[in-house]
Chain A
């Protein structure tokens, strides 16, 4: 092998799935580590390229991390995610990263934060929520508004119903598009729910992620509530292959989502072509 000084950014290292948690019928959280512990220490909002060597490789957001492992929440939508959902604990994987710009944790200090998530969209946002909780004194009020199609589709139920409500100065509001027999909570779409709760824009920054259709309507609702373009942050996804801003495909105008994103403010997004 060539000198170890030159690391080839397109070649992953091997790691292992040490734990799999069923979140919903089509979402699982995978805990990944390597022989030498955590492969890297990502900032909240950063991404990793995960692969099953004989199936394929794709970019996923890192939803959480421990001292020795990374957590990736993955929805079953295609060939690779299908194979991952069939995999068992102990499976060797390829991992490389961290990629992307992450959330602007410094600029957000001292502000009240509003997290709006839909479905699997909570996964990248969760990394920021947990970071804020870990550095609780640096951040103001934390308000989490989250929704999914049904109670079964709610991700990270433990955080939503046990951990986060217990955090100091933190509020959690959950809705589902359609409840089931046992559901006691709110029923309705996330954008309408946000308007119902009308969180005050003063001193607040909103971070949102979810299916494109939800983001579209959430942004409209935020505008109605008086949020300015630089008070709204979102994280995007695109088809990615290299992860390092060279293969060309994840471009949004002159930005590469894998390198200059995936986190963008609405102000930045409005400067870029509407192609996502």
Chain B
């Protein structure tokens, strides 16, 4: 048991008992040792369900949208990537900062549950860090009301050098010939079930009504065919362009293992080249690249 976990439970119990918040969102143990899914605590007596371990991967920020209409204050635990999700929602005017109490966590990195399952519980210590954590530039949350860290000040992960390996997947695809690239993407997206797990977990996908939930409009057919799946993939990638916080949740939740982050990172790489280096969800004041213009923006189409 880590002292971080004890601190989390204590803080949650305290906030709920004193009525400062009506609900605390955190993580609890799931069906297997490698799963720590979200938990919603409303009763101070339930706070012992909260856990903190290397499988607390789920980005909790998106759940705040379920309580948009509620008057009540909610507390949630935020790792570095989750905090960027909060900034994303604030910048998109989706949540009220006053109704949220953020308990930041200096995150040492999380691990991939699927890889853990494959290795087995006896080899728990060998499970590698999740890929996204290797490129994480903000392990300490950029926004919080209070910050928790391990007693004894265990060194947290150093912020990774943003460039190292971050766009390796993109470079691999860019090096392919057009035919190879087509085979790569169709091979992936032919499997797409259009379950919308990627969209539903993404903090940047926060439209009140998504166009893919309105099949009547005719923008995208409901058939699970190559062209419609591609249309969905590219549309979503373009809709989050410049706003993607690189939490990697979309790729983690995809039941078919589609390399969604490669597509998102390609767009981020292009935006960096076109409009300058930018990291979404870090600076509340900075406008996203596609949410502003500058007079010296590249103009290739005179």
Contacts and interface: CB of A to CB of B under 8 A. Distances in A.
Nearest to B216: A79
Indicate the size class of the contact surface on chain A.
under 10
Contacts of B216: 56, 78-79
Contacts of A56: 216
Indicate the size class of the contact surface on chain B.
under 10
A239 to B, nearest CB: 11
B71 to A, nearest CB: 27
Nearest to B218: A79
Interface in B216-266: 216
Interface string A74-102: 00001100000000000000000000000
Query: For chain A, what secondary structure do more than half of its interface residues adopt (helix, strand, loop), or is it mixed?
Result: mixed
Nearest to A80: B216
Interface in B186-225: 216
A78 B216 CA distance: 10
Nearest to A78: B216
A79 B215 CA distance: 11
Nearest to B217: A79
A56 B216 CA distance: 9
Interface in A23-60: 56
Contacts of A78: 216
A84 to B, nearest CB: 15
A119 to B, nearest CB: 23
Interface string A168-211: 00000000000000000000000000000000000000000000
A90 B216 CA distance: 26
A79 B216 CA distance: 8
B36 to A, nearest CB: 33
A56 B218 CA distance: 11
B87 to A, nearest CB: 38
A43 B216 CA distance: 31
A249 B231 CA distance: 26
A83 to B, nearest CB: 12
A228 to B, nearest CB: 40
B245 to A, nearest CB: 35
B219 to A, nearest CB: 13
Interface in B134-166: none
A58 to B, nearest CB: 11
B217 to A, nearest CB: 9
A240 B216 CA distance: 14
Interface of B: 216
Q: Which 3 A-B pairs have the closest CB atoms?
A: A79-B216, A78-B216, A56-B216
3 contacts: A56-B216, A78-B216, A79-B216
